[in-house]
A and B are shown apart, each in its own frame.
Chain A
Amino acid sequence: MTAFARLLRSKTFVWIVLILPGLWPAWPLFVRQDSSALADPLKFILHHLGFVACLLLVTVLTFSPLRVLFPRSPVVQALNRHRRLVGVSAFVYAALHFTTHLLYEGGAHPANLPGIFRNVLDKPFQLTGLIALTILLLLAVTSLHAAVRWLGGRRWKNLHRLAYVAAALIAYHQAAARKIFPVQVLWIFIPLVVLELLRLWKTHRPRPAPAAARP
Chain B
Amino acid sequence: MLIRTPSSWELPESAVTPEALYRQRSRRDFLRTLGLGAAALTLGSRSVLAATAGFPDQQNPAYNGTGLKPTPYNLVTSYNNFYEFGLNKDDPKDNANRGWNTDAWTLELAGLVRSPQKIDVNALVRQLGLEQRVYRHRCVEAWSMVVPWDGFPLAKLIALADPLPTAKYVKFTTFYDPSAAVGQRSNSLDWPYVEGLRLDEAMHPLAFIATGIYGKPLPNQNGAPLRLVVPWKYGFKGIKSIVKIELTKREPRNTWNVMAPSEYGFYANVNPTVDHPRWSQASERIIGGGIFSGRQPTLMFNGYEKEVAPLYKDLNLRVNF
Q: Hey, which bits of chain A sit against chain B, CB under 8 A?
A: 29-30, 33-43, 45, 104-109, 119, 122-125, 176-180, 182
Question: In the complex, A139→B278 CA distance in Å?
Answer: 28
Question: In the complex, A48→B280 CA distance in Å?
Answer: 21
Residues of B274-298 contacting chain A, CB below 8 A? 275, 277-280, 285, 287-295
Do A35 and B79 form a contact, CB below 8 Å, given A108-B292, A123-B277, A177-B278? yes
Decide if A36 touches B3 in the complex (CB within 8 Å). no
Question: In the complex, A73→B108 CA distance in Å?
Answer: 66
Most buried by A among B287, B291, B295: B291
Question: In the complex, A37→B88 CA distance in Å?
Answer: 11
Out of A39, A42, A108, A176, name the residue touching B89 (CB < 8 Å): A39
Question: In the complex, A167→B68 CA distance in Å?
Answer: 44
Q: Is B93 an interface residue (CB 8 A)?
A: yes
Out of A39, A106, A119, name the residue touching B288 (CB < 8 Å): A39
Decide if A39 touches B75 in the complex (CB within 8 Å). yes
Out of A38, A43, A123, A124, name the residue touching B75 (CB < 8 Å): A38
Question: In the complex, A40→B93 CA distance in Å?
Answer: 16
For B259, what are the chain A residues with a Cβ–Cβ distance below 8 Å?
Answer: 180
Number of A-B pairs, beta carbon distance below 8 Å: 73
8 interchain residue pairs of minimum CB distance:
A107-B294, A35-B78, A36-B90, A39-B79, A36-B78, A39-B75, A35-B74, A39-B287
**B78, closest chain A residue (CB):** A35
Out of A40, A125, A182, name the residue touching B285 (CB < 8 Å): A40
Q: Is B5 an interface residue (CB 8 A)?
A: yes
For A179, what are the chain B residues with a Cβ–Cβ distance below 8 Å?
Answer: 141, 256, 260, 263
Shortest beta-carbon distance from A133 to chain B in Å: 18
For A34, what are the chain B residues with a Cβ–Cβ distance below 8 Å?
Answer: 78, 90
Shortest beta-carbon distance from A37 to chain B in Å: 8
Q: Tally chain B residues at the interface, Cβ within 8 Å.
A: 37
Out of A30, A41, A107, A180, name the residue touching B87 (CB < 8 Å): A180
Most buried by B among A104, A105, A109, A125: A105
For A43, what are the chain B residues with a Cβ–Cβ distance below 8 Å?
Answer: 143, 285
Q: Hey, which bits of chain B sit against chain A, CB under 8 A?
A: 3-5, 74-75, 77-79, 83, 87-90, 93, 141, 143, 188-189, 256, 259-260, 263, 275, 277-280, 285, 287-295
Decide if A36 touches B89 in the complex (CB within 8 Å). yes
For B260, what are the chain A residues with a Cβ–Cβ distance below 8 Å?
Answer: 179
**B276, closest chain A residue (CB):** A123
Question: In the complex, A105→B263 CA distance in Å?
Answer: 21
Question: In the complex, A1→B216 CA distance in Å?
Answer: 57
Out of A36, A38, A40, A45, name the residue touching B143 (CB < 8 Å): A40
Question: In the complex, A179→B277 CA distance in Å?
Answer: 11
A-B contact pairs, 25 of them (CB 8 A): A34-B90, A35-B77, A35-B90, A36-B78, A36-B79, A36-B88, A36-B89, A36-B90, A38-B4, A39-B75, A39-B79, A39-B287, A39-B288, A40-B143, A42-B291, A104-B285, A105-B295, A107-B295, A119-B280, A122-B275, A123-B277, A178-B87, A179-B141, A180-B83, A180-B259
For B90, what are the chain A residues with a Cβ–Cβ distance below 8 Å?
Answer: 34-37
Question: In the complex, A158→B89 CA distance in Å?
Answer: 42
Do A182 and B87 form a contact, CB below 8 Å, given A29-B3, A40-B285, A177-B278? yes
Decide if B294 touches A123 in the complex (CB within 8 Å). no
